[in-house]
Amino acid sequence: MNLAKTFSLTLIFLAFTVAASAQIGVKGGVNFGVAYGTAEEVNGEAIESVSPGLGYQIGLFTNLNFTDNVGLMIEVNYEAKRSSKEVSEFTISSVPSALTGLPVDVLVNASADQDNSFDFINVPVLFNFGGEGLSFYVGPNIGYMIGGKVNVASTVASVYPEGVPDAAQAQIDGIINAGLAAEGAALGKADTELDLIDTERVNQLILGANVGVMFNLSDNLFLDLRLNHDLTDFTNNDLDVAQIDPSRGALRDDKDRNVNAQLTVGFKF
């Protein structure tokens, strides 16, 4: 976590609240969303699919009422966003039949499951309008990614025609592993954890947009339903390299963004 930036944001929040003598409060809830972008392709066919995940958030807010029906709410939130990605099985190489003596080439196939974990400090600035019981709001937010990790469970397997003896398969697998070693890979299953911030694969400063509705349950308690969407790409374009494309290293126009539905409960002091 970047403590200096977090501390600075908190000071700004508190200074604004004191100066404006505004109403303040706390909130917390859940995020349900996904990180999506340009899918990897093999031979022109997309082989990636994404799935939403459940995260959470906690934060502080200040509420400024300009009139009975129009106001401004500024928040400082810690948001944990989670999602996953599946890479369907695809062929990464093959061993020609001329080398193995088999009637067909031996394929080398790979697949993977990836879990994403992104942590943000977000500062939404929301313009709200409506009555006492129900209000609507819209506005931007500035986010700073303080944590970004992916866990990848991958499988690389050789595919043989029926009837090939185990001894012959083991011999050919040795040839395959020798070739894969040059790329830091091997037949079998592997689990890898990657810190995206340490590798500089992400842009930590993100601009987003929010739209939502607030149900005022009492003078102090409210329920907040919100849609949050990144407007900027959180991947570093200078390092945005296709990982699966057979050309190995070709750049791709990959714009990755988070989109989340958020349900929170807030309390005004």
Domain containing residue 87:
3-242+253-268
Please write the tens of the pLDDT for every residue from 155-182. 999 999 888 899 989 999 998 998 888 8
Distance of CA 141 to the CA centre of its chain: 17
117, 148 contact by CB (below 8 A): yes
**How far apart, in whole angstroms, are the C-alpha atoms of residue 255 and residue 250?**
15
Please write the tens of the pLDDT for every residue from 15-26. 555 455 578 899
Domain-embedded: residue 39: yes
Domain-embedded: residue 248: no
pLDDT value at residue 143: 94
Domain-embedded: residue 206: yes
Mean pLDDT of 70-80: 93
100 pLDDT above the threshold of 70: yes
CATH of the domain at 207: 2.40.160.20
Please write the tens of the pLDDT for every residue from 213-235. 999 999 889 999 999 999 998 88
pTM of the model: 0.80
Among the listed ranges 4-18, 177-191, 250-264, which one has the minimum average pLDDT value?
4-18
Burial 13-47 (b: 16+ CB within 10 A, else e): beeebeeeebbebebebebebbbbbebbbeeeeeb
Domain-embedded: residue 247: no
**How far apart, in whole angstroms, are the C-alpha atoms of residue 3 and residue 178?**
46
Number of domains in the chain: 1
